[in-house]
Chains A and B, each alone.
Chain A
């Protein structure tokens, strides 16, 4: 066993590949062979390190030396110096931007601190279906601490001091929310976990529930203790069968171990948790709609006040928090508010989990401290844009958020900065787009979602979003006018200003932010009838290159609407009036004579 003494990991991610990592690997291998080391040291291409800004990367194991910006010609030096003589190649080491020092061991690189898994701390480490593993990972210690050493007021103060804000999107201070619920007296109060994750592409909550269900149960019990509630409800969408299953197992185990139920840890505190299944309506993620849905009513929001903390589930004081918010609670209690509030920015503490998706190399679930920049997320964690293409925009906050652009790349991410930039934190979807994305089409996509998912209660959201969508449709079809642009802006602002719930109020963000940041692209669609990304089909024209066409008639024979004409062995033409842009001709042309412009 352990045939190899040393491994050289060469980043084979697309970013580094473009900067010749294949060549580096080949050079390393041949140099090893020259030194007769090919059976002792292994060179291997890996997935993307995510650190594409400093690529190509070569990492030496087991000593964790991290070489950056390696060129193929550096290979020999690495082998001769590092492998043969055991001396690190200093000039290739990563330089800490703060203190300008070379970092020898990658474990001390700031890069690894870009991500910080607090809410996800146990995901990928413990067996979610084994309560003992959770206990081994300090699980239920926070609950024990609350029940044994703290008063409810102290718990609330700790959460307030931590600066934790709701991770479901709005960013309301969690401690304050608890305090309000605790001060409303009633014979019965409720603690509700909002697991109705509905943003397209978002799966932070599902991952937490599937990977670490006990942390949510523990946090809910702490929440119950703090506000004086003995009942907890988890509103989870029925489309999450695995998460449901793991929660049910976890609840059973917690009962079995006496960590839920009557007289928990001999403290006299009782707490129980039940699941409530949602049918997958986006609007039921809004807390008042969620409560109505749990009550068996139509899932639609009601005007606040009264807030759930005053009159919630069954008209009783109810505290609703999102899954990720809860996942932060136990560790805040065990490590203390002062540990937590040192992470993040002045007004946004801690970390945020994002589902990183789109035209990015490392699509994945990441957790980063607040205050990180989009640039760091996209280029240092996400591994940059796929295929080395140009970054164009990033959409945060799902249908409630907006599209940010180059100029926002260095803005520290927190609740307030994102809102100021015309987007929002949302629940944590982050879709990266490159030049192949049409921003008008993107806005239309999100509007389509909102139109589909609007509950229909208030006029601005029910009708206004439909109209926004229709106007965007008109623009992408090439029929837009400059007045439409004014209408979009005015209508978008009015919807923001007048819609009933938070979802409606944020629904025009995708439109407004793209108009703000990609005005030129709208203009092109309207005035030049062009879609630079080539996404809007109606704005494209199919053209046969008269030079290339040999008149084989394959295109004409395959055109479903007989839009192509021409004599045999003579160049053909496309009647653009008839053309439906189906693409059949391009597929059939063997001479690359047909193009889209």
Chain B
């Protein structure tokens, strides 16, 4: 069974996915926090998997509503593992050198209180618009 049989199907799916992403982004009201974890070989080798597992279980334990996504290389090889945290209504912030301790700090301070912690990687590029 193929899901997309025509251009119209493709467009419809694109729209629904984008809507989903939009609601996620605009979901300020519900206070949805998004965390992306760079999971390329280099990130995983540096410990990204552990960090992701840890953060998922910790935020759940603490009853926080966080959406985790694995993604590809963000390019900051000097600072792996890297994660990007987007608080509702705010610019995404990239943190580097995230070990379990740093992850804890990010959860406790930034995700919970919006207090920045050290280890921010200033983003030095813009995403092109598709």
Instruction: List residues of A whose CB falls within 8 A of some B CB.
Output: 1-4, 7, 9, 11-12, 42, 44-51, 59, 61-62, 64, 107, 111-118, 120-129, 132-133, 135-141, 144, 147-148, 203, 206-208, 210-212, 240, 242-243, 255-259, 261, 265-266, 331, 334-335, 355, 357, 361-367, 381
Contacts and interface: CB of A to CB of B under 8 A. Distances in A.
Interface string B31-46: 1000010111110100
A266 B13 contact: no
Given A124-B73, A141-B14, A148 B7 contact: yes
Interface of B: 1-7, 9-10, 13-14, 17-18, 20-21, 31, 36, 38-42, 44, 69-79, 84, 87, 90-91, 96, 112-122, 124-128, 130
| Chain A interface, >50% SS class | mixed
A366 B75 contact: yes
Contacts of B125: 112, 114-117, 366-367
Nearest to B10: A144
B61 to A, nearest CB: 18
B90 A62 contact: yes
A118 B69 CA distance: 21
A45 B3 contact: no
B42 to A, nearest CB: 7
10 contacts: A42-B115, A45-B118, A50-B124, A129-B70, A210-B40, A256-B1, A257-B2, A331-B128, A363-B78, A381-B124
Contact of A48 (B18, B77, B122): B122
Contacts of B128: 116-118, 121, 331
Given A2-B114, A50-B122, A363-B77, A136 B14 contact: yes
Q: Which of A126, A243, A367, A381 has the most CB of B within 10 A?
A: A126
Please provide the 8 A-B residue pairs with the shortest distance between their CB atoms, ordered closest to farther. A211-B72, A258-B2, A136-B17, A115-B125, A124-B74, A2-B114, A207-B73, A123-B72
A117 B114 CA distance: 29
A261 B2 CA distance: 10
Contacts of A148: 7
A2 B112 CA distance: 8
A59 B93 CA distance: 13
A335 B128 CA distance: 11
A50 B21 CA distance: 30
Given A1-B112, A46-B121, A243-B41, A123 B4 contact: no
Nearest to A3: B113
A1 B41 contact: no
Contacts of B39: 210
A211 B74 CA distance: 9
Contacts of B120: 9, 44, 46-47
Contact of B116 (A42, A123, A208, A242): A42
Contacts of B36: 124-125
Contacts of A203: 41-42
Contacts of B127: 117, 121, 125
A9 B69 CA distance: 26
A47 B119 contact: yes
Given A9-B120, A206-B40, A240-B41, 17 more contacts: A1-B114, A46-B119, A112-B125, A113-B126, A117-B126, A121-B128, A123-B72, A123-B73, A124-B75, A127-B69, A138-B14, A210-B40, A211-B72, A243-B41, A265-B6, A334-B130, A365-B75
Q: Which of B44, B90, B116 has the most CB of A within 10 A?
A: B116
Contacts of A138: 14, 130
Contacts of A123: 40, 71-75
A141 B12 CA distance: 12
B78 A1 contact: no
B10 A265 contact: yes
A140 B2 CA distance: 15
Given A115-B125, A136-B21, A212-B72, A4 B116 contact: yes
B71 to A, nearest CB: 5
Nearest to A143: B10
Contacts of A135: 10, 13-14, 17
